[in-house]
Homo-oligomer: A and B are copies of this chain.
Amino acid sequence: MAFPSQFFNLLFGRPLATSEERAEHIGPIAGIPVFGLDALSSAAYGPEAALTLLIPLGLLGVRYIVPVSAAIVALLIIVFFSYRQTIEAYPHGGGSYTVASENLGHGAGLLAAAALMIDYILNAAVGISAGVGALISAVPALQPHTLGLCLGVLGILTLVNMRGVHDTGVVFMIPTYFFTGTLLVVIGAGVWQTVAAGGHPHPVMALPAIRPATAAVSAWLLLKVFSSGCTAMTGVEAVSNGVMAFREPTRKNARTTLTIIIALLAILLLGIAYLCRAYGIAATEPGAAGYESVLSMLTRAVMGRGWFYYLTIGSVLAVLALSANTSFADFPRLTRAIAGDDYLPHVFTLRGRRLLYSWGIYVLVAFTAALLIIFRGVTDRLIPLFAIGAFMAFTLSQAGMVMHWKRQALLEERGLVRPGGVRLRMLVNGVGAAATGVTALVVFVTKFAEGAWITALLIAGMIVIMRAVHRHYTRVAREIDLDRPIIPAAVSEPIIVLPIDRWSRISEKALSFALSMSNDIRVVHVVTTEESDAFCDAWKEFIADPLRASGRAVPRLITLKSPYRYVLQPVVDYVLGVERETSYRKVCVLVPELVVRHWWEGLLHNRRSDLLKVILLMRGNRRIIVVNIPWYLEDAES
């Protein structure tokens, strides 16, 4: 709630007013790390994943990496043009969810939503565990602390993100630029050496010998290689989801950011592939003795094992761990959009003290932590799964854009908007949809047995839940929405029910209030012992007689026997009985309550009044109104 303390401010930053919103928006310099880190870091595992599947082909496999990478980059460029158009058409954030819902209907939108949510959560878990895994390869002594390190990184990411997007950009800028910079230097130097050596450079340090081929080339194998390599493309949709986070001119900034990210990624992928062939670098068996990552071999082949090697590998580690951050930037925005359409709880639309959609972050952190704990910090097996979500989302988004342009074309024909190359745009997005759709299908088929079926089941389950949520909100809206003026109900005196256990100042206050509200008061007293009890005597002496003497209406005393010593049950039953007997009057239950000043004092008093309120709320109905009459204990000092 609203008790911001110094500590909170220090940890999460001071609260931000709604009017400070603009200040939180970013430009391309900060946008590249925030929205591009996931896409760029994919260069660290995409080529490696493809090369690993090429190991059985021996030297021939190393040659195949270039065409496979070229195919991936071609796909990447198609996707780039598609998303450029999305940014143009949806300046308020055109995530796959929005585009698919608006153009293909809610079914497609929900499919995209579920795919993306799963994708983001997997991405956060995989990113963190891959980074920690790389760190552990470098410092094997940390091996026993894998899970602890993973959760620690998650904690840091959470803290940084709770401070807001702007601060996040600053924190992530340095590792991202270091990662891109060092890899570009390696690629530049490598290409220079290769050209200088006439295509056959000599590695600075010896590389592992390439193992002889054990299998022949087949189309199925190349499809699998392509599918694995496609993980290099995950994350490129981030910019189009987050257009709103950019400062004015929004579209231009977003477009510039997307262009730079895609260009960098394409250069990295092609450069790595080219140099792998030039230097003859094959992947080594992951998890086996002598394993070394492709980027590590490449860097030391080109640069040797000096300080620059360690700088490069260090930035790879940092960026892998931080690639999870894209999920932090986008997941809350995605859930906010879905919740805004009533498909997720509305709590996702509330902005916290730092203008963030806090609940999106909480849910992301909870699921990521759960995945990390279940897999004990080793989530390699999840990597192929999240490519499916990403490509499903790509496809739905592009297909949606095709419909978008189709409608534009109709408007053009009718002369409602001025013509502007809509056919070409439709073609661009159509090619994008077809390419990514085929890729999604290929990934799904080639990865089905490895776990793609789990992703499919999860997506189905989430769609069922989102539909149920939507049904609920629709029903509630139908029931409570009101579009007519007030019709004040006929005023009739309510029936007051007041439970009293003994005569005290608290009961006196409640009874006074009851007398001011109505003339029909029923004081309810529960008797648990068999003997007569003190209150019945007090009733006559202290209440009934004095009221009668002063000419007032005397409340009715209702004595309820409770042989099993339950105190609340008889009161609730009585209230429900009164409600049944009267057809229109409201029944007000007055609940006197002692309020203590310190939590420990609360342990010394029974919580019957709280329980009574809860039970009345649970079992009550619209004509029963609960009135809380608090009695505050004075402070001990006074």
Chain A residues within CB distance 8 Å of chain B: 1-2, 15-19, 345-347, 350-351, 353, 469, 472-473, 475-476, 479-482, 484-489, 491-492, 494, 503-509, 511-513, 515-517, 528-530, 541-543, 545-547, 550, 552, 563-566, 568-569, 586, 593-595, 601, 603-606, 611, 613, 615, 617-618, 620-622, 624-634, 636
Contact = CB atoms under 8 A, between A and B. Distances in A.
B485 A543 contact: yes
A180 B563 CA distance: 40
Given A547-B486, A566-B1, A604 B469 contact: yes
A429 to B, nearest CB: 34
A557 to B, nearest CB: 13
B488 A566 contact: no
A482 B509 contact: no
A345 B606 CA distance: 9
Contact of A18 (B565, B593, B622, B634): B565
Contacts of A347: 606
B18 A563 contact: yes
Nearest to A15: B564
A486 B508 contact: yes
Contacts of A604: 345-346, 469, 472-473
- What is the interface of chain A mostly: helix, strand, loop, or mixed? mixed
Contacts of A622: 509, 630-632
A594 B631 CA distance: 26
| Best-buried of A486, A530, A605 by chain B (most CB within 10 Å) | A486
Contact of A625 (B472, B550, B630): B630
Copies held by the complex: 2
28 contacts: A2-B564, A2-B569, A16-B564, A18-B528, A19-B530, A345-B603, A351-B565, A475-B636, A476-B633, A479-B634, A480-B505, A481-B505, A482-B503, A482-B508, A485-B541, A485-B542, A485-B543, A485-B546, A486-B511, A486-B542, A488-B512, A489-B513, A513-B625, A595-B617, A625-B629, A626-B628, A627-B628, A628-B628
Contacts of A503: 482
Contacts of A16: 564
A569 B3 CA distance: 9
Contact of A626 (B472, B515, B627, B636): B627
A515 B546 CA distance: 31
A18 B530 contact: yes
B564 A353 contact: yes
Contacts of A476: 594, 633
A1 B626 CA distance: 19
B601 A18 contact: no
A15 B566 CA distance: 10
Contact of A484 (B494, B542, B626, B630): B542
A625 B624 contact: no
Given A480-B506, A513-B625, A625-B630, 10 more contacts: A2-B568, A345-B605, A476-B633, A480-B504, A482-B503, A486-B543, A487-B508, A513-B586, A517-B517, A593-B617
B543 A516 contact: no
B530 A601 contact: no
B542 A515 contact: no
Smallest CB-CB A-B distances: 3 pairs: A2-B569, A17-B563, A485-B546
Contact of A480 (B482, B613, B628, B631): B631
Given A351-B565, A634-B479, A1 B611 contact: yes
Contact of A346 (B543, B606, B625): B606
Nearest to A546: B485
Nearest to A620: B630
A276 B634 CA distance: 66
Nearest to A627: B627
Given A528-B18, A545-B485, A547-B488, A630 B626 contact: yes
A347 B567 CA distance: 13
Given A486-B546, A564-B353, A566-B1, A632 B628 contact: no
A350 B607 CA distance: 13
Nearest to A20: B563
Contacts of A545: 485
Contacts of A601: 472
A123 B482 CA distance: 66
A628 B630 contact: no
A352 to B, nearest CB: 8
A393 to B, nearest CB: 25
Contact of A489 (B491, B516, B547): B516
A21 B546 CA distance: 39
A611 B472 CA distance: 23
Contacts of A629: 625
A625 B628 contact: yes
| Best-buried of A18, A475, A484, A586 by chain B (most CB within 10 Å) | A18
A469 to B, nearest CB: 6
A522 B545 CA distance: 38
A73 to B, nearest CB: 44
A23 B565 CA distance: 17
Contacts of A626: 627-628, 630
Contacts of A19: 530, 563
A468 to B, nearest CB: 9
A624 B617 contact: no
| Best-buried of A511, A566, A604 by chain B (most CB within 10 Å) | A604
Given A485-B541, A508-B486, A17 B564 contact: yes
B630 A627 contact: no
